[in-house]
Amino acid sequence: MTRSQPPSDKLARTLGLSPKPLGLKMVRGVVFSLTRKMVAGPLFLLLVPFTLHKVGATGYGTWAILMTLINISLFLDWGLGESVIKHIAEYNGKKDIELTQRLLNATFALYLLIATLTVCLLGFGSHFIVGQLFHGPSDQIISQVLTLWPLLLLIVAADVLARPFSSAINGLQRIDLANVVLFVQSLINAGFTIAFLLAGAKLGGLLLATLLSSLFNLIACAAITRKLLPAIVPNPLRCDLPMLKQICTFSLALFSGRAMVMIQGQLEKLYLARFVGVVQVGWYEVASESASKVRRLPDQLLSPVMAAASELHAADEQDKLRELYFRINKYFAVSAIPFVVFALFSAKALMKLWLGPGLVAIAVPFAGLVIGNLFLQVGAPIHAVLVGRGILRPGVYGALVTGALNIVLSYIFIRRWGFAGAMLGTTLSMVLGSIYFFAAAAPHFEIPLYQTLFRAYLKPVLCSFAAALAMWPVRSMGPSGWRDLLGGVGVFGIVYLAGLLLTRFFDSFDLTKAERYLPIFRFARRMMPLPVRATSE
């Protein structure tokens, strides 16, 4: 394919950006992702008890079911989101803007079709869906939900149509901008939620707040994509059939796995709604969402990994790709393990202080789901690198196993044990599915997978348990309030970091990179001797 000018110059001018090193783009994305979670995270802690107080247990359970339907609708994108991120990153690595134009044309056409079909499906099937899922003490709940159903349809449409734009932003490694949009969206949602609930709007206010924040996300993502790609205007009428076939072949494989992940994350709530009741859905939603919060902050380290792996794979930078694989496992372990261990040791105290002594029983499903999520977390860096390399089978088959187990086990356990069975079925399916994924992924890496996981996770696990034991004297005195719990957090953090330094978990490569972006880490070089750089070999 001939071009009238060097592709690199053309791409740089089209993006309106000066070239940035891949490492800087990754660090920038991670920093913005972590900052957003740390700042916006407290909103969840404040909104849950506030919403429970304003709408009651039945109202909150109804809201949880509606949000489950919205989340399920978002997964009906046939895996296009990750496919778009991967291909845009790949074309960026190849400096080919013409393929980017063709990709966005085809993607936008598909998302328009998906939004139309999803809204029609939910609209025409509203009476059946509502009649099957909503059971509770109030006979008016079905009529109330049907009255508010048009708001749900608008939310789904806005969220689906925002997907091609947000995926393009992430594929161009502008995760910093994507996180700014998500942060503002969270603030808008929280602000309108509080305002509407104080005004007495209840369930309708929750849906309206979500709709307004979704519309903001759509408009902001479209505007940023236009700014990053000023020479490209997605035109669904110029959908390129060969490009459509290419991205569909890739995305449909991802979709089969993502559909199972969607089932694993939402099906147990639908089972509870069908067989137990709306109130129990609300309690399980609190436990499930709280457990997922434990993993979301460390998960931000993975936000740029798939795009970076795609870019390195397209440029045939195999040494850098191996280094990326080793380092992301190491850094993910050091951030994820302490959150999990602290949550397990403090589950009862956290729930008591957050929701009150009457809801301490939620601590048990919370702890179980934290354990199940840990297995998914360990596999997440491996999956991101494999997808970036275009290897889908281990992730797809692992998700299929997890989802199939969840369908069967959750049904059996919920019918037999009710609320407790939801946690047991979900946790067991996550553990067994993850084990299968590790076995399927191992042949695709030159270095044995168990060796990489051992080197990455052993020291953080040992240091985390040592920190939890050191925290025990503080916890044995209560804790009677948030101050005592924060004291435990301080002890845990100090012991954990000291253990990592004493065991020389960080090598010279780690601090050299850290110094480049955060000069405060230069102090660490004067505080401890460092081992030589540990490579991925």
pLDDT at 13 over 90: no
Cα dihedral 427/431/432/436 (nearest 10): 150
User: Percentages helix, strand, coil for the chain, rounded to the nearest 5?
Assistant: 85, 0, 15
Cα(185)–Cα(497) distance, integer angstroms: 34
Q: Which of 113-117, 166-170, 249-253, 258-262 has the lowest mean pLDDT?
A: 258-262
The Cα angle at residue 270 between residues 267 and 274, in degrees rounded to 5: 140
Helices of type H across 125-277: 126-133, 141-171, 175-198, 203-228, 241-275
Find which of 296-310, 400-414, 453-467 is predicted with most confidence, using mean pLDDT: 453-467
pLDDT at 523 over 60: no
The pLDDT confidence band at residue 41, using thresholds 50, 70 and 90, is: low
Q: What is the pLDDT of residue 338?
A: 93
Q: Is residue 261 part of a domain?
A: yes
Cα(223)–Cα(515) distance, integer angstroms: 34
pLDDT at 61 over 50: yes
Q: Is residue 381 part of a domain?
A: yes
- The pair phi, psi for residue 343, each rounded to 5°, is -65, -40
Which structural domain range is residue 169 located in? Answer: 7-505
Q: Is residue 534 part of a domain?
A: no
**Taking residues 134-142, what's their average pLDDT?**
64
Q: Is residue 345 part of a domain?
A: yes
**Taking residues 42-49, what's their average pLDDT?**
75
Q: In this structure, which amino acid lies at residue 458? A: L
- Helix or strand run (H / E) with residue 411: helix 393-417
Per-residue b/e over 166-198, b at no fewer than 16 CB within 10 Å? bbbbbbbbbbbbbbbbbbbbbebbbebbbebbe
Number of domains in the chain: 1
Q: Is residue 510 part of a domain?
A: no
Q: What is the pLDDT of residue 218?
A: 94
Q: What is the pTM of this model?
A: 0.65
Q: Is residue 515 part of a domain?
A: no
Q: Is residue 535 part of a domain?
A: no
Instruction: Tell me the pLDDT tens digit for each residue of 336-349.
Output: 999 999 999 888 88
- In the chain, DSSP finds a helix count (H) and a strand count (E) of 20, 0
Q: Is residue 523 part of a domain?
A: no
pLDDT at 435 over 80: yes
Cα(136)–Cα(506) distance, integer angstroms: 54
